[in-house]
Amino acid sequence: MGLRFHIVPERYCPDPPDPHENGGLYDWDLDLHGVTPYDTFVTYSCDIARQFMNSSVTNYSSIYEALYPTQVRHCEWNQTWSPYTEVSQIFFHCFLFLKEDFSV
């Protein structure tokens, strides 16, 4: 009886969800369109003065307890993205003032 080898087929996830139009960003390589391999990680982030808001948090003393800067998704063996089903909403969390905004 000789050795038997099992060849694992290539596993791909569908393209990850696009980042939010409201200042969302991600590091996914667009060249992987249609062929994102298993075990790929995609990090979502937000543009300046924005963060993701965890809508499942309802009991917090400050809005900042529900905000976080990045969200990471992983291409699983079963060709799904985890751990989130949707990319969280983006929330403006501060205002930027330029020096020119203040007249003395």
Two structure tokens written together for 104: 């003395």
Model pLDDT, residue 6: 56
Interval 58-102: pLDDT, tens: 777 766 677 888 999 999 999 999 987 678 888 776 655 555 544
Measured CA to CA, the distance from residue 104 to residue 79 in angstroms comes to 59
Structural domains of the chain, ranges and CATH numbers in brackets: 12-101 (2.10.70.10)
Contact 44, 19 (CB under 8 A): yes
Residue 55: which pLDDT band, with cuts at 50, 70 and 90? confident
Roughly how many angstroms between the first and final C-alpha of the chain, as a whole number? 89
The rounded mean pLDDT for the chain is: 80
E strand or H helix at 44: strand 41-46
Whether the pLDDT of residue 56 is over 80: the answer is no
